[in-house]
Amino acid sequence: MGAAYQRGFLLYEHRRYEMAAAEFRRELQSSPDDGRTMAMLALSLLNQSQHAAAEAQARQAIAAAPTLGFAHYVLASILVRLPSDLQRRQWWRFELRRRRQYRYGTLLTYARVHSVESVRLEPMNCDFIALLAAIELDLGKTDAALALAERSLSHNPSHARSANVRSIALRKQMRDEEARQTLDRALASNPENPHTHFHQGWTELYAGNGEAALNHFNESLRLDPSNQRAVVGRGHALQLMNPARRPWKRMQLWMDRVMGPAWLVRIIMVLVISRGLLQSGTVGIVIYVALAMVLLFLIPVVHVVATKRRVRRSRRT
């Protein structure tokens, strides 16, 4: 690697992405086929919210060095992140366009292809394994994500992203104490990681510890003031600390956890559709109330019990 690459790498480490991109371009003038430099340029562009340019640059890196795991890792990292100027209401248009471009799957599935390739090429790289674990988690494959995160931690017990992914997977399996212990160990080795504080904040939220959650979200924001998700978490923690709102907030967090964030919308839709039962006399009213109770309480409880049983079976095997 030349001097321009070294300067660009140092600038990238200090989050001077525009200047880093300029140095990587200077390096490519003397080494136009260097796949690693192309991949670093792609990351610099991504952090400037130039999503399309970053993706194109990462593809050039793979074309120049198809056996370079880092190039596949960079492209996978780009594909799992939406461009910052893409509004959530435009997501369906973005996804439809990508489905036309990649006929065999969604954007996340396509990212997984390159992430798997990066791990195949460099099976001991914890960063690559942790990204694949995070993708598996987003695809709903909790057991696979947990196995990958633990594989990464076996190589490097202090790897922060692997610890974060492991904690999320454990929370999804209702193993909250293990999730907390995982993040405690990660913070003991790296107390200045904003993402670990963020995830520990959510662990404390689900446990009903509003004050502890608030402390972790505040620390995450101190270390990374641009973390808007920590701002949202801080709002939840403040509501949890309010005695008047605490019961509702605890129920909301629990339902979000077991049924997904849109649980209330789904319940309201079902109840609105079945509102004709209210006009069917006493029997209809009883059925309507029973349906509401099932949606609000029985289904979440069954989900929790089934999850814990599945976890126990997987441990035995």
Nearby residues of 303 by Cβ (< 8 Å), 6 or more positions away: 258, 259
Is 13 inside a domain boundary? yes
Is 75 inside a domain boundary? yes
Pick the closest to residue 237 from 259, 217, 251 (CA basis).
217
List Cα–Cα distances, 155 to 112, 149, 152, 305, 306, in angstroms.
Answer: 21, 10, 5, 33, 32
Looking at residue 66, its pLDDT comes to 95
114-118, 182-186, 279-283, range with the lowest pLDDT: 279-283
Side-chain-side CA neighbours of 229 within 13 Å: the count stands at 9
Is 257 inside a domain boundary? no
* pLDDT tens track for 250-293: 777 766 766 555 555 556 665 665 666 656 667 666 776 676 66
Alpha helices in the chain (DSSP H): 3-13, 17-30, 35-46, 51-64, 69-79, 91-101, 107-121, 126-138, 142-155, 160-172, 176-189, 194-206, 210-223, 228-241, 246-259, 263-273, 281-293, 299-316
Q: Tell me the average pLDDT across 167-172.
A: 90
Q: In this structure, which long-range contacts are made by residues 57-65, counting pairs with CB atoms below 8 Å and at least 24 apart in sequence?
A: 61/35, 61/36, 62/35, 62/114, 64/33, 64/34, 64/35, 64/38, 65/33, 65/34, 65/35, 65/36
- At 167, the pLDDT band (50, 70, 90 cuts) reads very high
Q: Tell me the average pLDDT across 148-156.
A: 95
* pLDDT tens track for 221-261: 999 988 888 998 999 899 889 888 888 787 777 667 665 55
8-state DSSP, 14: T
Is 15 inside a domain boundary? yes
Domain of residue 275, residue span: 262-317
Is 28 inside a domain boundary? yes
Is the pLDDT confidence value at 205 over 60?
Answer: yes
Number of separate domains in the chain: 2
Greater pLDDT, 107 or 75: 75
How far is it, in rounded angstroms, from Cα 133 to Cα 149?
Answer: 6
Is 127 inside a domain boundary? no
Is 242 inside a domain boundary? no
Point out the domain boundary residue: 122, 137, 154: 122
Return the CATH number at 38: 1.25.40.10
Q: What SS3 string covers 53-89?
A: HHHHHHHHHHHHCCCCHHHHHHHHHHHCCCCCCCCHH
